[in-house]
Structures are given as C-alpha cells and as structure tokens.
Chain A
Amino acid sequence: MLKQRSFRLLLLTMAVLFLFPFIAFTSAKIMDDSVKKRPDILTIDIPSSPSHKDMPPVQFMHDRHSQAVDGQCIKCHETREYKVKNAETKGKAFVFKFKRTKDLEGQAYMDLYHDNCIACHVEMKKTAEATGPMEAQCRACHNADFNLGSSWSELIFDRSLHFRHESTKSIPSLIKTEKTNCNACHHNYNEKTKEVFYEKGREEACIYCHKKTGEDDMRPSRSAAHDSCVACHITLKEEKISTGPVDCSGCHDAANQTKINQATINQVKEIPRLQRNQPDTILLTGWNSLGTDMKKNEKIITQHMDAVAFDHKTHEKRTQSCKTCHHESLKPCNTCHTTIGDEKGEYINLAQAMHSIDKSQSCLGCHNEQKKARECAGCHFQMPEKAFKDHQCSSCHTVDAKSQPLERLIDKKSSDEMAKAALTDKAGKYSKVSKEKIPETVVINSIADEYKPSEFPHGLVVQAIFEKAGKNHMAKAFHGNELTLCQGCHHNSPATLTPPKCASCHSETPDIVSGKPGLKGAYHGQCITCHQKMEIKNILPTDCNKCHEKKAS
C-alpha cells in the first residue's frame, strides 16, 4: 500500500517537473500579451554615440516617467525664453529635449543620458518603491526584445478643435490692439531678419512651413506643435486653468482622441466659419492664372472651359480643416497649379489638380471618396469610378462666362458674385418626383421557378433613397433631378419615369464576353450588393424566403 502511494507521488512529481517549463513559459507569455501598446514610446537612438552598434536603442515610456516625477517637467527639461515680435509679452517655456537646450554629439550626448537617467534612478531608489535600472544593468534599457510597440496616432486639429481654441478666454491675445487671439499661436517668418512676426489675415496652417522632417533652421512639425501646444497647456495648468493634455497619451491615444472630440468644452452645434476674409463663392476659371492682360486678349476666354461656380462656404463646413483642400498654402489653387502647369505646382496643371481621381485634395478625388459612404455606396459601388473622360463636364462647369462682359469677369468681386448667382440658380432648379408616379409594388416573376414571384416594395425603397439623398448636401447638389436617383437601379437607362424592364437587356444566361450578368444574377446582384453596401442587417443575403416564398413542393 505504502509502496503504491509513494510510486504515485513519484509519478506526480515527475509530471510536475516535466510540465514546469511549459507552465512557466505560458505564464510569461500571458504576461507579455497583457502589456498593451503605448502611445508614449520615445525611441532614444544616438547614431553618433561610440557604442551605437553594440547597444539597441532605448524604448522610453514618457508618460510613465512624467508620472514618476509628479508631472514636474523641470526635473528633465530645461527652459528657454520666448518672444513674439510685435507682441509685448515674453515668457518662459520648456525645451522638449532631455536636459539640454541644443542637440549634442557622440560621447557627450550618450553620457548626458546615462548620467542623468541613472542618477535619478539612484535618487528615486532611496524613497520610491520602484524605479528604473541602474549602473551595470545596461540591458534593462538597451533591450531589443523589450519592444512594446507604439499605439501613437496623429492628432487631427480639426475645425472643432480650432474653434475651441479660438473662442476660449484662457488664451488671450498677445497683442493689445488685436481683438482676436489668433496671434497667440499663428505667426509668420521673416526670412531676411530671421524673426517671427504676426500679421493679421495672413494666418496659415503650421504644416505649411514646419514640415514633417524640418528644413534648414525651421523646426519640424513635431517640435513646433509641442513647443506651442504642450508649452501653453503646461503654463495654463500651472495657473490652474482648465486646459488640454500635457502628457503623450492625452493627445496621441486613440481613445483619448475620441474623448477630445466628444468633450463639451466650448462645443457648439454649428462650428462658425474661420475668419480670414475668404470668399463665400468663387468663380473657378482656367484663364485667370495666365497673367496676360485680359483686356488685350479677350479671345483667351473663349478658348477655355466654362467656369465652375464653387461654393467655398459649403465646402468649408464639410471638410475637416482648410488643409483638406489647401494642402500647401491658403492661397488660391491656381497660384501654384496654373493652367499649363508650373514648377511651383510640381507641373500639375489646374485641370489635373482639380480632376485627379487618386488625390484626396482634388475635387473628383474627394467626391469619389465621399461616394464610398454607406448611404451612397449602395448605388455608387455598382457604378465603378468613372475615368475623368467619362464625367459629364457640365455638372460642374455651369457658368458660360463667354456671354458675360469682360469687365465683370476680370473683377474678382463681381466674378465671385456671378458664381453665387449660378449656385442659387442651380439650387432653385432642384426637381422632385411626385409620389403618385412611383409604383408602390413591383412583382418580379420573370424567372420564378423554385420560389414564388417576389413582391418588391418598390415605393418604400425609392422613398428611402430619396430621403437619404435629400439629407446629403453633395447628393442633393449632384442629383438636381430626383429622377437621376432612379438610375441607381435602372442603370444605363435615361432618367425617366418609365425605365425599361431588366429583361430588356439581361438575358437568362450571363453574357460572358461583355461581362453582362444574366437575369438571375442581375436581380440578386442589384438587391444583395445594395443591401450589403448600405449595411442593411434585417434582410441577410441568405434570407431567401424574406424576398420570395418557397413554393410548396
């Protein structure tokens, strides 16, 4: 009896010993998985350091360190004085470099980190429970395996955020004579005197000058943004005024970004327009960038496309920020994209700039992108993106400028008014289809076989489409006649109340050479694809009986 028991014990011990490495391994793995990606990872990599080849770069968790020092930036960062020209205020701001104001090289740079990091860790060890690695623990920081992965995501400073900064009382104007606080952030740069100054009405986006990588003595966008945004937030926080985030995750964590968007601070229903003297409407023409004296070359106008009446005000509302279209500067498009193309616009001429399908800042590119939205995709998915040549020019090029007096065309103000008139005219022409003329039910029975004919609630579907299109500004503008919405299903048919039957084009079997589906494919394809793209969940593609009942066998 005793022998048997001891034998069992032995077996158990062996089993445990055998499994131990696996148990240890799996638990370690679980721990690894529980470490989430962080938005605050800074990679400290010094290529000029003598041991750069031997040691992997350090993955530094910024937020964890700022928490450890109770948010006292001064523990790691130096300060500098700043001054805006023609603003009287001077101030101190942190330099967002570790313990230095200017970049170093080689050994000195490396020592700066080693000396300060380790010294602080040693200091912390005396009081704090946990602290970072110390002398001779090189691999604790320089560890290639310790790769947390970054969840950093770019913060988009959209119109809403801009308005919240613009309207807050926490950010006063730095210049006494100015009523608006634009000058608190925006500045211009004088290349000759190498000084910054502020000029009202010439504010632009930071990224136009502060490029992502930084050029010459211009700070890269990252430094420029942190030097302005974070520095200001810190100052306000010190003054106990409610302000924006001061840590990495506050701006660069996806979850926090949603919080920012939903935050109620200064949130308004309708964001007011930016005030920079921009026009409401613009007459976009091909000729006004030519630089020739129009009065002498009157003929030039007749050689161009009809002008486009552009609703600048409406587009402002529907875009994230000015940068959505004005990707390089807030100047008019044809400053760089001239009619024939120019070095300034990288030889992309005006026509290309406005019509490229693959560029989000071009008219067609952006409009195509909009058509991928759920409400539009039901119909538009099945109409693949048209090439530039297949578009109807007249849907945008509506203003026949040739019939207008030359003086009006040359004058900016009157030409923009011309555009306004054209837009109002177009909006007035919006034509609706009366409900009575739309068939309520359509029985589809031409190929009924296994299932009973389908009673298609035509009226309901049409009304739903009309309603969705009516709510969407872009759809309303381009579907000026509601009948064009019928062409979503009755494709290749003219916009008419009496479109031909599906069977007038689709035969029973698919036409492989032309790629035209057969009747069964056409019906199911039209309905199912539209339901899938519009994410209609109550009728699934495999719910056969919801559209047509099965015949009793």
Chain B
Amino acid sequence: MAISRRKFLGCITAAIGTSAVATGKARAGSNKHFTGHPDSFGILHDSTKCIGCRKCEQACNTVNSLAPPEKPFDDLTVLDQKRRTDEASYTIVNKFQQKPVFVKTQCNHCQEPACASACFVKALKKDKTGAVVYDESLCVGCRYCMVACPFNIPAYTYNDPLTPKVTKCTMCLPRIKEGKLPGCVEICPREALIFGRRKDLVKTAWQRINKNPDHYISHVYGEHEMGGTSWLYLSGIPFEQLGMREDLGITPAPQFTAGALGSVPIVVGLWPVLLTGVYAISKRKEKIARQEQEDAVQNTKTLATQEMNNQLSKLKEKMTREKETAISNEVKKALEQAAKKAKEAVAEEESAKAAEQAAWDEDVLDEDPASDDSGKEEK
C-alpha cells in the first residue's frame, strides 16, 4: 500500500519529537557536568624532573607485593626498550628521545573512567578519593575494561588459570587511607611526582608553566583529556613525542555511550505508545476514508438508479405513446380502410343497387370479417 505524503510527514514529525524528548531526558540524566569528586586526590608527574631511576617501579613492586622482575630495578638498560604495564608491574618508566626524557606510565585514574563504564558488574569503581578501584570478587573476567581503557593500562593475569584477575595501579588507596603517600611518590628522589588534591595540583602545574614558559609546553596532560584524569603530567616537549595520545579529546568516555544508553528506557517506554498512537491515527483515517468512499458509492448508486428509473419511465412513456400512436394510426387506417371499404361497399351497393337486385346475399357476407378484426386489436 503506498503511503501518502501527508501521512509520511506526520510520522516523521512524530519521530523527531519523540527523539528530541528522549535525548533531552538522557542528557539531564547523564553526568555531563561532573567535574570529579570534590577534594579528590591526584598526582602531578613533572617529566622534566624525572631522571629515570626506576625507584618508583621498585616501590610499586614492594608496596603491592608483586612478582620480582627479570632484571633488577637498578638496571637502567631496561629503559632502552619501550614497555607497557603488565600483571607484574603496575607502573613503568619509559625513555624517549636522544636527550632523554622519562615518563612514568600507570593507571591515570580518570575522573570518569571508561573501564568503570564498560564494567557491567561494577567491579571497577571511581572512589571519592580519586582512585579507580577494582573489586576482584565481583569481576567476571570479561576484560571489557582492558578494551575500554584509552591509555591501554589494565593487564590480566593470564598465567593464573583458576583465579585470573585484572591488574592495575591502585593509586595506593590503602596507603592513602592510612595517611601515607603512594609508594612511588614517597620514594621519588627528584619530587618528579607530587601528591595532593587534584585541584591544587592543576594550579601548581600551571604555576610551573607560567613561571618558566620556555621550559614547559603550555599543556597539562590529564587536566582535560578524556574528561580529566587524577594523574597530571607536565612536559618540555609535545606529549605526542612521549608516546602519549593527544587525539583523545576532552569528552569523558562514558558520555559517548550515555546519550544512547540513557535514551533506552525512554525509547522502550515511549515508543510503543507513540507507535500505537501513530497506528491508531492512521487506522482511524483509513476508516474515515473507507466510510467516505462507501457513502460516495452509495450516493452514486442511488443517483444512478434514480437516473435509470427516470430514463426507464421516460422510455416506457415514449414507447407507450408510440404504441398508442401506432394503434391510433392503425385504427385510423383500419377505420379509413373500413370507411373506404364501406364507401366502396356503398358504391358497390349503389352500383349493385343500381345494377342489380339479384346479388343481395353476397353483400352481407363481405361486411362481417372486417368488423371482427378491429375488435380483436383493441384488446
């Protein structure tokens, strides 16, 4: 069945209206203006100060009782190869460029973590201290968090077949709760890592940049990246050259899905109603149309019948009239004939009268059949 233009436009308007309502609702429901937990902690890493001593790696290993490394921590040749975090090292230091610049890598503890938003059992949660904490007991081992992390941080204990778990920096949350500094911060000889309230650290970072603009590039990595991270970085060269992604944008990961996922309840709840409404409206229109059509047909039918009847009666009349005329003509004719015959008969009679007296019997016989015919037709 071809859809009418009017109906199509009606449907479109209805759909747009609903979706606008749906997304509006979703935005209000999402955490768009979430700027981190107030007074949450963070760590500022000044890569211009880092000397690449790997003490932080060592401290991290001790604090978290991780497996001893293949090469000792004071072996700095390890830095010649680019490494990433794994199940036995929650943090690593990488070396870049000829005139070496060192950067420490670990979980950045995002303000709005992608891993936590990807986790459907809430095994990863953003703590109000700023740490993104992992609950092993809830984890189902789907490793969605590893896929979701824009910084490629979470690792997995693949070598543990029975109780595997996701591993990453804890921001030393147990130590923070005890009032201690995170292991790496405490040991850093150069104070290339400083721990404090995130909002203060952002100020400190900018203070350093403004005080020495030639020394730093004018960018605090983590201030806005992926909606901001608890871990902040300073550098003298573009972060891209330190293997840090600059294409992440400032939108927190959950927001990419919040719009779509947030509209699910509305879509589920409202669409049946809407569609039923649209269906009902179109149905009603169809009904009305059908009624109108039927009426029209009926009308036409009656009109046609009337017309036909009229014509029929007219025809009948005409025919009757014709018949009558014909009859009257016939009658006339017959009468004329009869009169003629009568005249003839009179003439004959007169001639006969004049001529004869003898043939009187024959005249009576001719007259009788003519009077019989006219009587029959009139019936």
Contact = CB atoms under 8 A, between A and B. Distances in A.
A541 B191 contact: no
Contacts of B219: none
Given A515-B208, A542-B53, A510 B190 contact: no
A359 to B, nearest CB: 15
A148 interface: no
Given A384-B211, A515-B204, A542-B76, A510 B51 contact: no
Interface stretch (A322-330, A465-473, A517-525): A517-525
Interface stretch (B12-20, B194-202, B290-298, B354-362): B194-202
A512 interface: yes
Given A384-B211, A542-B52, A524 B201 contact: no
Contact of B194 (A381, A384, A510, A542): A510
Contacts of B215: 381
A520 to B, nearest CB: 6
A384 B212 contact: yes
A513 interface: yes
A528 interface: yes
B53 A541 contact: yes
A542 B196 CA distance: 26
B207 interface: yes
Contacts of A381: 215
B189 interface: yes
Contact of A513 (B53, B190, B200): B200
B190 A525 contact: yes
A515 B200 CA distance: 10
Interface in A484-541: 509-510, 512-513, 515, 517-518, 520-521, 524-525, 528, 541
Contact of A524 (B191, B200, B208): B191
A286 B368 CA distance: 168
A544 interface: yes
Interface string B183-194: 000000111001
Contacts of B52: 541-542
Nearest to A509: B181
Nearest to A451: B189
A517 B204 CA distance: 11
Interface residues of A, number: 18
Contacts of B214: 385
B49 interface: yes
A385 B197 CA distance: 29
A512 B204 contact: yes
Contacts of A515: 204, 207-208, 211
A73 to B, nearest CB: 43
A525 B204 contact: no
B208 A525 contact: no
A544 B53 contact: yes
A303 B196 CA distance: 51
A520 B194 CA distance: 12
Given A515-B208, A541-B51, A528 B200 contact: no
Contacts of A513: 200, 203-204
B76 A524 contact: no
B191 A518 contact: yes
A528 B190 CA distance: 8
A517 B51 contact: no
Contacts of B49: 525
Nearest to A517: B191
A510 B194 CA distance: 7
B17 to A, nearest CB: 52
Given A512-B200, A541-B53, A521 B190 contact: yes
A40 B120 CA distance: 66
B200 A510 contact: no
Nearest to A450: B187
A199 B203 CA distance: 61
A385 B49 CA distance: 19
Of listed A517, A541, A544, residue having the most chain B CB within 10 A: A541
A524 B207 contact: no
Interface in B188-236: 189-191, 194, 196-197, 200-201, 203-204, 207-208, 211-212, 214-215
Contacts of B189: 520, 524, 544
A510 B212 CA distance: 19
B349 to A, nearest CB: 132
A510 to B, nearest CB: 5
Nearest to B53: A542
Interface in B144-198: 181, 189-191, 194, 196-197
B191 A520 contact: yes
Nearest to A521: B191
Nearest to A522: B191
Given A512-B201, A542-B76, A525 B191 contact: yes
Given A542-B51, A542-B76, A512 B194 contact: yes
B173 to A, nearest CB: 19
Contacts of A384: 211-212
Nearest to A541: B51
Nearest to B51: A541
Contacts of A521: 190-191
Contacts of B208: 515
A115 B182 CA distance: 78
Contacts of B201: 512
A464 to B, nearest CB: 22
A130 B331 CA distance: 135
A381 B49 CA distance: 13
Contacts of A544: 53, 189
Of listed A528, A542, A544, residue having the most chain B CB within 10 A: A542
A327 to B, nearest CB: 22
Nearest to B48: A529
Contact of B196 (A385, A512, A520, A528): A512
Contacts of A524: 189-191
A515 B203 CA distance: 9
Nearest to B192: A521
A528 B192 CA distance: 12
A413 to B, nearest CB: 42
A524 B46 CA distance: 14
A510 B191 contact: yes
Contacts of B190: 521, 524-525, 528, 541
B274 to A, nearest CB: 55
24 contacts: A381-B215, A384-B211, A384-B212, A510-B191, A512-B194, A512-B196, A512-B197, A512-B200, A512-B201, A513-B203, A515-B204, A515-B207, A517-B191, A518-B191, A520-B189, A520-B191, A524-B189, A524-B190, A525-B49, A525-B190, A525-B191, A542-B52, A542-B53, A544-B53
Interface of B: 49, 51-53, 76, 181, 189-191, 194, 196-197, 200-201, 203-204, 207-208, 211-212, 214-215
A-B pairs, top 5 by smallest CB distance, nearest first, are A521-B191, A541-B51, A512-B196, A384-B212, A542-B53
Given A521-B191, A525-B190, A528-B190, 19 more contacts: A384-B212, A385-B214, A510-B194, A512-B194, A512-B200, A513-B204, A515-B211, A518-B191, A520-B189, A521-B190, A524-B189, A524-B191, A525-B191, A541-B51, A541-B190, A542-B51, A542-B52, A542-B76, A544-B189
